[in-house]
Amino acid sequence: MEELEFEVAFIPKAVKDSSQICVLIDVLRATSAMVTMLDKGCTEIILTSDEKKTMKGTPVHKLNETLVCAEELDGRVSKDAQFSPSLISIRPMNLNNKRVILKTTNGTLAGITLWNAGIKQILIGALHNAKAVMEKAVKLAIESKKNITIVCAGRESGRIIAIDDVFTAGTLIEYGKEIAHSLNRNPILKDSAKISQHLLSVYPNAITSFEDSGSGETMRRINTIEDIKICSEENISTIAPMLDFNDEDGFIVTKNTNEVVYK
């Protein structure tokens, strides 16, 4: 039986091999927000480190259909944005046929960092789409004869490890192993993947691990504690979006392709 390796990068800069299939996670809250926005009919999410600059670079004819979702360093909504990446604010919104410019403290920066490092197969993962994203990752890895790295966005602009991301990585590894077996592949876990899985035995559930994380502390400080519960919801989405480059506008994006990975 052929082998399929799984690894976890606890921060984006820990990814050393650009040939990997990468699954990016910033469960509290960027990647959870991206999956939610695409499920709500958003056509395109533009990743940026400067929402004002990106708005200025947006063609005039697209401005009416473009919204800005951005947060300050403390997690609160940016003064230049219509809303923040809080799932509390996103869920009731009508995003059908809208483009969203997205800036977060860690998640969007991680995506931009990976893309600029030459990694061109980057899936957007969260607990919301855990099974779907790992099914797509495993199939891509088998087709391209590559291995899989779960990339944690981390905290403080990707400089330190985040418990919530590592716990989520462990959960995704569990799905990856199961899917690999179903496709006649022997899953091999690097030490980093084993560490992530061990965290699943430390916390009884995702909510507990999120509450114990620095990200959870941020949610309490900015009064969005409900985001912890929402972002812990597992397999409520069947999509597995990927990062891409919009040649027309020159932006790193993820799009709604209406692809259902599993039913």
pLDDT tens figures, 182-199: 999 999 999 999 999 999
pLDDT of 263 > 70? The answer is: no
Residue-wise DSSP of 85-149: S-HHHHTTS--TT-EEEEE-SSHHHHHHHHHHTT---EEEE-STTHHHHHHHHHHHHHHHT--EE
Contact call for residues 208 and 233 (beta carbons, < 8 A) = no
pLDDT band at 259 (very low <50, low <70, confident <90, very high): low
For 168-183, the pLDDT digits (tens) are 999 999 999 999 999 9
Q: Is the dihedral of CA 187, 144, 237, 245 positive or negative?
A: positive
Q: What is d(CA 159, CA 13) in angstroms, rounded to the nearest whole number?
A: 8
Helix, strand, coil percent content, the chain, rounded in steps of 5: 40, 20, 40
pLDDT of 19 > 80? The answer is: yes
pLDDT of residue 261: 55
pLDDT of residue 60: 66
Contact call for residues 227 and 216 (beta carbons, < 8 A) = no
Q: What are phi and psi of 24, to 5 degrees?
A: -90, 130
* CATH H-level, domain 2-255: superfamily: ComB-like (3.90.1560.10)
pTM of the model: 0.95
Mean pLDDT of 159-173: 98
pLDDT of 247 > 90? The answer is: no
pLDDT band at 58 (very low <50, low <70, confident <90, very high): confident
* Share of residues in the chain with pLDDT > 90 (%): 86
Q: What is d(CA 166, CA 196) in angstroms, rounded to the nearest whole number?
A: 5
